[in-house]
Chains A and B, each alone.
Chain A
């Protein structure tokens, strides 16, 4: 599917109800997400860590090559999916040529890319050092530009209104408004932002993206958005077209589902001989 056709199709789907984009780290998760009606899948390194039972934060630490993780998982995710997949790429690695990296993901079956892992996770002096080294947010903008110029869809994550404008201006057809790590569950973290404050920030990001390009599709993710209730509330108040589910559609349900299945077998009793 061409980028234009995919965006048109997503817009039609959004008219019928909220878009649900699911971040997956394995083919199994991809199958489940598609059966549940996911509109689009995203394959990225936080998800590959998550499905390995490890904290998603590892995708932002020096435990492995984030892009290798994505490129390794991508073929199995694409093979298991009935919906298009975007690949999460780390633009901050100076050893990667961004156009080549995007082309590699496309060759493995991705129909688009997203800037994940993003430097938005880092703040303070560390973030300033990353930006000073030329490996910061502008590289993520360049990643989006590379994807668009190769005819792919780009989901550009933004942590604030300024970043949202940059992503929309760079040609991202989809802008994701990000509140940080999702709260709750084993290996999750405490919410850093309350729901009301979070919704306010999301609304600013969505408005900024649309002020740059009116036809951009907007998605929301993270922080306190960890249950269908708060997500529906946030969608209504921000005007975003959809929600990106990560831990909420993959880690939490998988752990719960497997635990329930094992419990059910454990409960079975061998009948007593008469």
Chain B
């Protein structure tokens, strides 16, 4: 069963890795087997959120942003019954929809604490909706915007959770810093590659991603100089991509989701069945 840690304990674990020159690898897990083997692979943090479930059900991660299910209900269920039982040491991070007007966030966060979640992050997030789009503007205008997500994360920090905020633009990086969160995760959009990965992220070069990570980091650091920087998504899909990002930005960690649970199993699953199917029944034509 996953252990419950205080904010300070999680920070100490994270800083120990960074000081030893090892990147912090946070893993999004939508199944128990992903969580269990991610931890054996050295995952420092295990993230639980609705897109993980959709992804491992064979759908695009984007499903987490659509009206297919109750994001916060899914994280409670997935955490309690699927992920927490198989994780031993790694702190559990809940991806929460902090703008949900149908839940009292204070009691929701306490429920997460009881399930041994040690941290929270904003996923699903309206940050994935273009900032200049009409839909996003309406959400911001009617109290369901990005600022509400950060207010919930700030509240979580007060309650003793370790907090990570996804930021998509420097403006949002500044908001994450101002909210006093422990980590800003520079989000480059949906991860490229594989059978249901984003086609749009293909060809978006790493240099461009590094520049965006740096811009988001600078904005966050202007508000909170010691904030920890992670990167995620878009062109940053494979281990060598993360090495490039560590060398060209101040990022000290990576949040892998599709990269560590979907992409690695797609081909082997297909090949395992194909290998059985390739055998032949003796004594028949063809």
Q: What class of interface size applies to chain A in its complex with B?
A: 35 or more
Q: CB distance A133 to B196 under 8 Å?
A: yes
* B139 contacts the other chain (CB 8 A): yes
Q: CB distance B63 to A65 under 8 Å?
A: no
* A64 contacts the other chain (CB 8 A): yes
Binds A, one of B8-16, B97-105, B221-229, B250-258: B97-105
Q: CB distance A63 to B71 under 8 Å?
A: yes
Q: Mark A49-74, 1 if CB is under 8 A from B, else 0.
A: 00000110111111111100000000
The CA of A270 and the CA of B226, in the complex, are separated in Å by 65
Instruction: Identify which of A54, A93, A187 contacts B66 (C-beta below 8 A).
Output: A93
Q: Mark A180-218, 1 if CB is under 8 A from B, else 0.
A: 110000010110100000000000000000000000000
Q: CB distance A132 to B133 under 8 Å?
A: no
* A125 contacts the other chain (CB 8 A): yes
Binds A, one of B76-84, B124-132, B154-162: B124-132
* Residues on the A chain within 8 Å of B138, using CB: 57, 181, 189, 192
Q: CB distance B67 to A90 under 8 Å?
A: yes
Chain B positions 59-74 with a Cβ under 8 Å from a chain A Cβ = 59-60, 62-72
The CA of A130 and the CA of B196, in the complex, are separated in Å by 12
* Residues on the A chain within 8 Å of B124, using CB: 62
The CA of A92 and the CA of B50, in the complex, are separated in Å by 17
* B244 contacts the other chain (CB 8 A): no
* A256 contacts the other chain (CB 8 A): no
Q: CB distance B70 to A63 under 8 Å?
A: yes
Closest to A130 in B: B62
Instruction: Identify which of A64, A93, A133, A189 contacts B70 (C-beta below 8 A).
Output: A64
Q: Mark A145-185, 1 if CB is under 8 A from B, else 0.
A: 00000000000000000000000000000000000110000
Least Cβ–Cβ distance between A56 and chain B, in angstroms: 9
* B189 contacts the other chain (CB 8 A): yes
The CA of A63 and the CA of B124, in the complex, are separated in Å by 10
The CA of A121 and the CA of B50, in the complex, are separated in Å by 22
Q: Mark B11-34, 1 if CB is under 8 A from A, else 0.
A: 000000000000000000000000
How many residues of B are counted as interface, with CB atoms below 8 angstroms from the partner's CB atoms? 41
The CA of A129 and the CA of B66, in the complex, are separated in Å by 12
Known: A124-B130, A126-B130. A132 touches B71 (CB 8 A): no
* A253 contacts the other chain (CB 8 A): no
Least Cβ–Cβ distance between B250 and chain A, in angstroms: 26
* Residues on the A chain within 8 Å of B69, using CB: 62, 64-65
Q: CB distance A126 to B133 under 8 Å?
A: yes
* A95 contacts the other chain (CB 8 A): yes
* Residues on the B chain within 8 Å of A135, using CB: 60, 66
Instruction: Identify which of A54, A122, A132, A180 contacts B129 (C-beta below 8 A).
Output: A122
* B141 contacts the other chain (CB 8 A): yes
* A128 contacts the other chain (CB 8 A): yes
Closest to B57 in A: A95
Closest to A121 in B: B135
* B273 contacts the other chain (CB 8 A): no
The CA of A215 and the CA of B201, in the complex, are separated in Å by 43
Instruction: Identify which of B59, B64, B67 contacts A95 (C-beta below 8 A).
Output: B59
Closest to B69 in A: A65
Q: CB distance B101 to A55 under 8 Å?
A: yes
The CA of A135 and the CA of B102, in the complex, are separated in Å by 26
Least Cβ–Cβ distance between A136 and chain B, in angstroms: 11
Chain B positions 117-160 with a Cβ under 8 Å from a chain A Cβ = 124, 128-130, 132-139, 141-144
Instruction: Identify which of A58, A65, A122 contacts B133 (C-beta below 8 A).
Output: A122
* Residues on the B chain within 8 Å of A63, using CB: 67, 70-72, 97, 100, 102
Known: A55-B144, A95-B59. A128 touches B68 (CB 8 A): no
Q: CB distance B101 to A54 under 8 Å?
A: yes
Q: CB distance B142 to A62 under 8 Å?
A: no
Least Cβ–Cβ distance between A229 and chain B, in angstroms: 24
* Residues on the B chain within 8 Å of A54, using CB: 101-102
Q: CB distance B59 to A94 under 8 Å?
A: yes
The CA of A135 and the CA of B66, in the complex, are separated in Å by 11
18 pairs, A vs B, C-beta closer than 8 Å:
A57-B135, A58-B102, A61-B65, A61-B99, A62-B70, A63-B70, A63-B72, A90-B67, A92-B66, A95-B59, A117-B67, A124-B129, A126-B129, A129-B60, A129-B190, A189-B138, A190-B141, A192-B138
Please name 15 further chain A to chain B contacts, defined as beta carbons within 8 Å, in addition to the given A180-B134, A181-B138, sorted by A numbering. Answer: A59-B67, A62-B50, A62-B65, A62-B68, A62-B69, A63-B70, A63-B71, A63-B102, A95-B59, A121-B135, A125-B130, A129-B190, A130-B66, A133-B60, A189-B142
Q: Which 10 A-B pairs have the closest CB atoms?
A: A124-B130, A66-B67, A62-B71, A124-B133, A123-B133, A133-B60, A189-B138, A126-B129, A132-B199, A125-B130
